[in-house]
Amino acid sequence: MPASATPVPMPQPVRESASAHSHDDAAATADDGGEAGHAFNEQTNYVPRRQIIQIFLTLSAATACALIDQSTLAVAIPTISSALGSGTQSAWISSAYFLTSTSFQLLYGRISDIVGRKHCLLACIVIFFVGSLASSLAQTTLQLAIFRAITGIGGGGFITLGQVVISDVVSLRQRGTYQGILGAMVALCNGIGPVIGGALASQASWRDIFRLMLPLSACAFVCVYLFLPLKKVHGSAMEKIKAIDWVGAVLTLCSSVLIVLGLTWGGGEHAWDSAYVLVPLLLGVAIGVLFCLWEWKGTPLPLMPLRLFHKRIVVGGLITQFINGWVFLVQIFYITQFYQLVFGHSAIVSGALLIPVTVMQTVASTASGAVLSWTGMYRWSLLFGWTTWTVAMGLFSTLKEGDGLGKQVGYGILAGVGVGNTLSVSLVAMQGAVERKDQAVATAARSFFRYLGGSLGLAVAATIINNSANQSLRPLGWSSERIKLTLNDPSVLLLSTSPADAADLRDLREAYRTGFQRNFWLLAALTACAFGVTFVLMPQRSVDRKDDQELRDKAKLELEEKKERKRAKRAGGAETPAHHTASTSDEPASLHELHQHDRSSSADSDQHHAELEKALHAAEASAALAPEVGLPPPELDEKGSEDRKSTNVP
């Protein structure tokens, strides 16, 4: 084709540049009305399998920090309570963490849309490091609770942001495998954590649990900084700061604090019908309603868009994950204490008895994710998981002091199967029910409900166990003061070898068994409800998106372009021969030049950018048509690049 000839008109090529897609996504976002002007929340970035594995290992390193932190602390609560004299206040050591991590869940999803996943995750790691360092230096229960709350702000974002990143780089169907493996990582960390925590608490110092997090979080920071890809999010820093829904974040924080505070006080320090309990609960609910109204009408970019609740599967997923968080976290934190207080096992043995739960959770999570990727089916995995989990919690309620290890291990295996089948596949089901631009906020909403359930579950479980023990010991002639002192530090009596304390020890263990039994009854009822919700609200839907293949093709094209640029740089940069370009790429040299120009001209005006894209499409069309109609390739100048006049680029 002569240099001055006009390109032959052709239909738009199948392969489009990344910037063209970004303009389409921006336009689609602007058409949503409420989110007009905020076109920086689409971060889909499919990458090759090799890079996915690299990203996955990086996310696993970050996720491991939060999970090991939670699970190691769970088994050490009695030791910490004894060392600090926490007593009934020991529940705040764990509740404070989940309180803040719950309150910030919704913020993680939206703020990562605005500033980028990588920056958000790095900030979470720094906050987690600071909180862990401060926790290792705490001298009172109040100090430890405050520092754990700081740790929760950072740690709460690890899992959520990891799930969001996976949804950015992997297609919906393939997410079953990767989310399943991530669920297996959750199980693995929850399995080894109690053993590490028990060993540190009994053989070293409970402060070493928090010191262990320092090198782990530092390693995670380096991995994320070096290996997690950063997709540029457009917009100035001030625009991004203004776009964050700070009012919504404050409202959800206040609501969560008040609700959990009322539940923690209820029946323990104060009666359920006292003002100390009712006022926080009612205020928390009222602020929660205000938060919903604000998200509906008060902010252009809500933390939790109410349009999510128009989806039946999303509603079902949020309800069941609220229950999942409740049952799962109570199971992790209190089964080890159940073995210590009722069976008299050491902290190390109690932690080891949690391994069957986590091993089977690992297997079930991986298997259910693989089945989802192969078949596209998630409904039957969810129903099977909730059924198995209900049976397991019912069986745990029958355990008593004389039962052997066979029952303890067997019931734990059933519980692990239940957890593994209800955790990861539900996320894929929810993400498939929403638009791509809502994936991050839907994932964050799911994590919010799951953490909220866990926070409330821990508070309610502590209340049930303490109240039941109190009610069981009072008729046996125990004074109120003695009951309070014993519940504040049960290890004094549990570790006693005096024959005079043998009868009191049996009474105490039976009192605790009653409390744990009632707690397991509640957990079995909740998992049964989750089965019903899943059956009614979560039908089977397709997990294949129409644009998945197009995005995969775009990722392959971008990878080829990246390789070509590297080869060109090694061969001498701009003086790359034309025949070299033709032999290593399907595109003419001018297309590579335009791509490079496009990536280096972020400061150009929108009009100039549009002209570039139009010229790029015309060049592709000409190259595609040339072999069919016998046209010669575009003429190249002596430097190996196409004459700019053919593309009308100034």
**pLDDT tens readout for residues 508-537:** 888 888 999 999 999 999 999 999 999 999
pLDDT of residue 6: 33
Within 10 Å of residue 99's Cβ, how many Cβ atoms?
A: 28
Query: Among 294-308, 344-358, 390-404, 472-486, which is the least confidently predicted range?
Result: 472-486
Measuring CA to CA, how many Å separate 468 from each of 335, 461, 472, 519, 574? 17, 11, 6, 10, 78
Q: What is the CATH number of domain 302-542?
A: 1.20.1250.20
CA distance 190 to 332: 8
**Structural element, H or E, at residue 446:** helix 439-473
Beta strands in 334-393 (DSSP E): none
Which two three-digit tokens encode residue 393?
């919690």
pLDDT in tens, 260-311: 778 767 656 677 788 888 999 899 999 999 999 998 888 888 888 888 899 9
CB-based burial, 255-276: b 16+ in 10 Å, e otherwise: bbbbbbbbbbbbbbeeebeeee
CA distance 136 to 150: 13
Among 612, 642, 622, smallest CA distance to 23 is for 612
Superfamily (CATH H level) for 42-244: MFS general substrate transporter like domains (1.20.1250.20)
CA distance 145 to 89: 9
CA distance 201 to 43: 43
CA distance 412 to 389: 10
**What DSSP character marks residue 48?**
-
Give yes or no on whether 42-244 and 302-542 have one common fold: yes
Q: How confident is the model at residue 36 (pLDDT cuts 50, 70, 90)?
A: very low
Does the pLDDT of residue 613 top 80, yes or no?
Answer: no
Which two three-digit tokens encode residue 525?
């009822």
Q: Any idea where the domains of the chain sit in the sequence? A: 42-244, 246-298, 302-542
Percent over 70 (pLDDT), the chain: 76
Within 10 Å of residue 474's Cβ, how many Cβ atoms?
A: 13
CA atoms within 13 A on the CB side of 635: 11
Asked whether 463 and 110 are in contact (CB, 8 A), the reply is no
Which two three-digit tokens encode residue 24?
């389409």
